[in-house]
Amino acid sequence: MGLYALSGRRDEKMKRKIIKCHCGAHAMKRPASVVHGDKAQGKYLYICSRYPACDSYVGVHKKNLEPLGTLANKEMRLKRIEAHRIFNRLWESGLMKKWEAYSWLAATLCLNRQQAHIALFSVYMCNEVIAECKRALKNNNIEWIS
């Protein structure tokens, strides 16, 4: 179970989850413009409190502002993008429906559906996704250009 902190307001009964970075620091919900400049107006990220020394951050859900996954540094963000691109090819090609692709991913990596989200994966797990997706695309004669 994750760490929680009271909001600090006595009338507020809701707890909020404390998001921790892999470097050990806390992450804070901040405007995405802190990282991306003016092009990110109206969007938010959870950003490591040590930013920019630690360049880890993660996007948030538009509806509830919860983190989309775990905080990631540049290397991990790039690897997750690469994994998503090849994974998306599975369903965009018509080989599978999107929900089938996520079921396939979970089964292939011996995960349950809640665990089978690339935004939660390490660099190692992203490399596994990439290798398995390449294998599936090749076995079905579907081109993949990286």
SS (H, E, C) 99-141: HHHHHHHHHHCCCCCCCCCHHHCCHHHHHHHHHHHHHHHHHCC
The whole model's pTM is what?
A: 0.81
CA–CA separation, 34 vs 22, rounded Å? Answer: 20
pLDDT of residue 1: 35
Segments forming the whole domain that contains residue 86: 74-139
Closest CA to 70 of 112, 126, 113: 126
99 and 133 in a common domain: yes
- Number of domains within the chain: 2
The 10 Å CB-count burial string (b at 16+, else e) for 51-74 is beebbbbbbbeeeeeebeebbbbe
pLDDT of residue 17: 66
E strands present in the chain: 4-6, 15-17, 27-31, 44-48, 57-59
91 and 46 in a common domain: no
- Distances 90 to 2, 77, 86, 101 between C-alpha atoms, Å: 33, 21, 7, 7
pLDDT of residue 10: 43
Are the C-beta atoms of residues 19 and 67 closer than 8 Å to each other? yes
Residues paired with 47 in a beta bridge: 28, 57
Residue 52 covered by a domain: yes
89 and 134 in a common domain: yes
Residue 146 covered by a domain: no
C-alpha dihedral, 44 to 3 to 113 to 107, nearest 10°? 120
Are the C-beta atoms of residues 21 and 45 closer than 8 Å to each other? no
Residue 78 covered by a domain: yes
Q: pLDDT truncated to tens, each residue of the chain (146 aa)?
A: 344 443 444 444 445 567 889 899 999 999 999 999 988 888 999 999 999 999 999 999 989 999 999 999 999 999 999 999 999 999 999 999 999 999 999 999 999 999 999 999 999 999 999 999 999 999 999 988 76
